[in-house]
Amino acid sequence: MTTRRHFLTSTGSTVAAAALSSAESTPAPREKPLLSFGLMADCQYADADPAGTRFYRESSGKLAEAVTELNKHDLAFTCHLGDFIDRDFTSFADLRPIAARLRSKLHHVLGNHDFDVEESLRAKVPAELGLTTGTYYAIRRAGFRFLFLDTT
């Protein structure tokens, strides 16, 4: 079974290898890309003590660093690939002002940790992430269709 982390690692390596091999063969003139978008994954913020290799409280600072870096680029949109929080529904409120500084529109994919909240609040999670019309959706940008699937 492929995990999101394995997919991102292997895809990134493949893209980097392809870019390096094509760059070595022929230097091409610098062209503006058809489309640029940002990706983030597994913020997993919680106001919780560290556990093993997870430093939950540091996630908000790392999200702020990511937003600062992404804002340096002309992006059609940004996507967070799930697990924005790790637990505790109030964590959404802690991250919302940081994510709001992002200049490109932020799209979310749901992750299992996003639902690690009180059972009575689980139905409210999609709306907290701006998913008001469903938990999976599509957008079109620059002639491409992007599908955002409910990974839960």
The DSSP line for 51-114 is BTTB-GGGHHHHHHHHHHHHTTS--S-EEE-S-SBSS-TTHHHHHHHHHTT-SSPEEE---GGG
Longest dimension (CA), the chain: 58
Q: What is the pTM of this model?
A: 0.78
* Nearest residue to 60 (alpha-carbon basis) of 45, 81, 80: 45
Residue 147 backbone dihedrals phi, psi, to 5 degrees: -105, 130
Please state the separation of Cα 142 from the chain's center in Å. Answer: 20
Amino acid occupying residue 92: F
Q: How many CB atoms lie under 10 A from the CB of residue 7?
A: 12
Q: How far apart are CA 143 and CA 40, in angstroms?
A: 23
Residue 45 backbone dihedrals phi, psi, to 5 degrees: -75, 140
DSSP conformational letter for 30 = P
pLDDT tens, the chain, 152 aa long: 556 566 555 555 444 444 444 445 566 677 888 999 999 999 999 999 999 999 999 999 999 999 999 999 999 999 999 999 999 999 999 999 999 999 999 999 999 999 999 999 999 999 999 999 899 999 999 999 999 999 88
17 sits in which H/E element: helix 4-25
